[in-house]
Each structure stands twice: as C-alpha cells, then as structure tokens.
C-alpha cells in the first residue's frame, strides 16, 4: 500500500492569482460588492499497481506487490465574504482496494477549514486540517493540525508563502506512537508563460514528541515541483513532475543493561513523481501517475524501494 500518509496529510496548496497592477478602476470594479458562494465536487476511479505494500506509520514493510482499484471523491466550498475575506472548506475520501492483500487496503478521510484575509498583495490566514485513516476496515490513525500562514506577492508572478503549525497524531492500537508536534515551512511559487507554467520550491522543519521516546524526532524536508498546462488538438493537457526529500533524526536510545545502545531509527526519504492529465471532455479528465520512492533507514527492516503506478478517470463539476 502506498502509505505515505503523513506527507499526504500535510501537503498545502496556495491558490495564487496575479496581482492587479492597474490603478485605474474599471466599471466592473466600481460595482458594489456582493458576497458569493461556490461549490465544486469531483469523483475518481482507476487502477493502481504497488511494488511494495507497506504501512510506514506502523513499520509494516512488506516485499509483496499487488494491484487493485483506487477510488476518490471530494467536495470543496468557498464563501467570498467580502472583497478581502473568504472562507473555504473541503472534504475528500480516498480508497485503495487491493486484489490479494486485503490487510493493506486503505481508507483515508481528509477534511479542512480555512479562513483568510487579503490586502494589497498580502494574505494572512488560519487553517485546520484533519484526517482519519483506516487499514483493512479498522481505524488506526487520527490526525489533527492547526496552522497560521502569511502569503505575499513579491511581484505579479512570484508568490511567497510561510506557515507555522501544531499537530497531533493518535493511533488506535500503537499508543506508544501517539505524538504532538510543531513545525514550519516556507514555499516559493513562480509563474511563467502567462501563468501556464508553475515552478515551486519549499523548505520545511518538524519536531515531534511521542509517548515513547524512541519515536521522538527532529526533521527537515525539501520539495520542488514543476507543472505546465497546454492545449493540443483543442484538448487541454497538464503535465508535472516533482521531487520530495525528508530527513528524520530520532533520539538515541539506550537500555538499562549497562546502557547498551539501541539501533537508531534515523531515516531519509527520496520520492520522485510525475503525472499527466488529459481533459477529454469539459468535465472529464484522464489521469496517469507514477511515483518512485527510496526509503533509507538505519533499521534495515525500514529500508526499501517502492514504485506506484496508477491510471484513472476523474469527473468534476
């Protein structure tokens, strides 16, 4: 099972709109403001292949491979309260149902609430993200995160976003892994080709304290991504590729018997991915995705590589 759940949960997106550069108000801009409400939904179904089934959060790493069905559905709502203030909320359900190894089937519920205020080329906001993960039909993880962020257009094509966060992880059975943490990140988005191409680079840092000290760690990460939209044969296309690096430095542990050293859990992860979207109809998109991860740890049992391929159809409205 592709179970990089922590990365999935903590991924934030900044919706950047080019800054207004003209100081002359148009007739449209002079109209009285009216609040607006938008609701969008989508559903997706496809197939996937996983070369190494795993539940990383429980150190359940298998050399078995399997294929199966992936499904997803989500809804997003945006309320533009004033010209400067808006509220957004979202819910998404994802499922991976494997053909042979049911014990790695994953159900993931994600939900979020965001409030922000924009002024000039600045934006400030607060956000809540939560998730519930089930494996083989049984709940194993609850995740909650609160964050505050600040965004600023350095120029009409470059957007800087910074955030600080606090988070909590609660496991249904592995109580020793229950943890509270803090972190922060800074991301830079740059748009070229009239906004059709986006370049992104981000740095992050995290610290977690668990109920069992062997799971305490300090970590940092780096993420970069490029996406490009284009039209070919009157059909909208979007391609993208990215790389994510994460390093975790766990606290060193010793036993009571002559202070014998316990093997370190230190680890680092390198993950590369790519996708291709083809909008065959106005509300229907074909999606192909590929991901390769190299997971290294001082614990040999947590050292492995994983390839995940998927193809799906997405309907959005």
DSSP per residue over 224-290, as a string? EEEEEEEEETTEEEEEEEEEEEEEEEEPP-B-SSTTPBPPP--EEEEEEEEEEEEEEETTEEEEEEE
What local confidence, expressed as pLDDT, does residue 14 receive?
A: 36
Does residue 25 have a pLDDT over 50? Answer: no
Tokens at 113, concatenated: 């609430």
pLDDT digits (tens, 9 = 90+) for 242-257: 999 999 999 876 665 5
What local confidence, expressed as pLDDT, does residue 245 receive?
A: 98
pLDDT digits (tens, 9 = 90+) for 47-97: 999 999 999 888 888 889 999 999 999 999 999 999 999 999 999 999 999
What local confidence, expressed as pLDDT, does residue 256 receive?
A: 56
- CA–CA distance, 300 with 296 (Å, rounded to integer): 8
Structure-token match 């938008």, residue found: 38
Cβ–Cβ under 8 Å, residues 283 and 315: yes
Nearest to 120 by CA among 163, 89, 151, 78: 151
- CA–CA distance, 142 with 241 (Å, rounded to integer): 30
Q: Which residues pair with 73 in a beta bridge?
A: 43, 93
How far lies 74's CA from each of 94, 109, 193, 237, 238, in Å? Answer: 9, 10, 30, 22, 20
What local confidence, expressed as pLDDT, does residue 32 receive?
A: 77
- CA–CA distance, 3 with 286 (Å, rounded to integer): 23
What local confidence, expressed as pLDDT, does residue 3 receive?
A: 39
pLDDT digits (tens, 9 = 90+) for 278-295: 999 999 999 999 999 999
What local confidence, expressed as pLDDT, does residue 9 receive?
A: 44
Structural domains for the chain: 120-316 (2.40.160.10)
The number of angstroms, rounded, from the C-alpha of 98 to the middle of its chain's C-alpha atoms is 22
Cβ–Cβ under 8 Å, residues 293 and 26: no
pLDDT digits (tens, 9 = 90+) for 158-215: 999 999 999 999 999 899 999 999 999 999 999 999 999 999 999 999 999 999 999 9
pLDDT digits (tens, 9 = 90+) for 210-254: 999 999 999 999 999 999 999 998 999 999 999 999 999 998 766
Nearest to 97 by CA among 141, 137, 52: 137
């Amino acid at each position: 099972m592709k179970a990089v759940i922590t990365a999935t949960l903590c991924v934030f997106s900044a919706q950047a709109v080019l800054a207004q550069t003209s100081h002359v108000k148009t007739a449209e801009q002079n109209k009285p403001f009216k609040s607006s409400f938008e609701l969008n939904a989508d559903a997706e179904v496809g197939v996937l292949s996983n070369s190494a089934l795993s539940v990383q959060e429980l150190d359940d790493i298998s050399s078995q491979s399997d294929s199966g069905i992936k499904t997803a559905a989500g809804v997003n709502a945006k309320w533009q309260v004033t010209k400067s203030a808006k509220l957004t909320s979202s819910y998404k359900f994802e499922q991976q149902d494997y053909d042979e190894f049911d014990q790695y089937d994953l159900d993931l519920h994600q939900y979020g609430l965001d409030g922000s205020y924009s002024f000039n080329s600045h934006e400030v906001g607060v956000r809540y993200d939560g998730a519930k993960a089930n494996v083989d039909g049984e709940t194993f993880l609850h995740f909650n995160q609160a964050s505050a962020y600040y965004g600023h257009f350095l120029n009409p094509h470059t957007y800087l976003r910074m955030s600080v966060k606090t988070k909590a992880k609660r496991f249904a059975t592995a109580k020793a892994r229950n943890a509270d943490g803090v972190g922060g990140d800074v991301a830079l988005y740059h748009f070229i080709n009239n906004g059709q191409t986006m370049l992104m680079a981000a740095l992050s840092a995290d610290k977690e304290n668990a109920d069992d000290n062997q799971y305490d760690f300090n970590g940092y990460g780096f993420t970069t991504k490029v996406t490009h939209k284009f039209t070919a044969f009157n059909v909208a296309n979007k391609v993208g590729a990215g790389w994510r690096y994460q390093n975790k430095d766990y606290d060193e542990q010793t036993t009571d018997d002559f202070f014998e050293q316990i093997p370190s859990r230190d680890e680092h992860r390198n993950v590369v991915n790519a996708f291709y979207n083809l909008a065959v109809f106005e509300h229907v998109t074909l999606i192909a995705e590929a991901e390769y991860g190299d997971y290294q740890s001082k614990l040999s049992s947590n050292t492995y590589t994983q390839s995940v391929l998927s193809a799906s159809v997405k309907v959005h409205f």
